Amino acid sequence: MIIGQYNYNLDPKKRLTIPTKFRSVLSKGAILTRGIDGCLFLYPQKQWDELADKLSKLPLSQANARSFARVMIAGAMDVKVDSLGRILIPDYLKDYAKLDKKVVIAGLYDRIEIWDEESWQKYGETTGAQVENIAEGLKELGI
């Protein structure tokens, strides 16, 4: 399980250190892609394969399904964790997530989200007030 929140810096060569705790789940490969809400998603290979399989089964006749699959699949890139625990963030993904120097890395069970620190703070401010309403809605899901 991938959980926790960490603050790191993106170096001038666009390399990002992955928390030590997360590295073992990425040792068999990892995929970096566009996320939702302006962040990047970093998936361990196994979880990516499961997601890609589900995306491949979405109906081509539905525009939203096609669009979501395009964003996730076309935006994806294989990344390797180097000997110092870093990954390289390609320019198009760095630009998509508006990553500057300060980055937040958040573990979310089966994936890692990579956020620009300022965007993460803004997201927290806007959703923080909604958490109780969200929690109420989760009752319907048995949570």
Calculate what percentage of the chain has a pLDDT beyond 90.
Answer: 71
pLDDT confidence bin for 10, thresholds 50/70/90:
very high
pLDDT confidence bin for 36, thresholds 50/70/90:
very high
Place of tokens 């803004």: 122
Structure tokens at 11: 């170096």
For 15-28, the DSSP string reads EEEPPHHHHGGGTT
Mean pLDDT of 10-23: 96
86-115 pLDDT, tens digit each: 999 999 999 999 999 999 999 999 999 999
Residues 11 and 142: their CA atoms lie apart, in Å, by: 43
Q: For 2-116, which CATH superfamily applies?
A: Transcriptional regulator MraZ domain (3.40.1550.20)
Determine contact, residues 117/110, Cβ cutoff 8 Å: no
Residue 58 vs residue 84, higher pLDDT? 84
Structure tokens at 76: 């994806």
Specify the pTM. 0.88
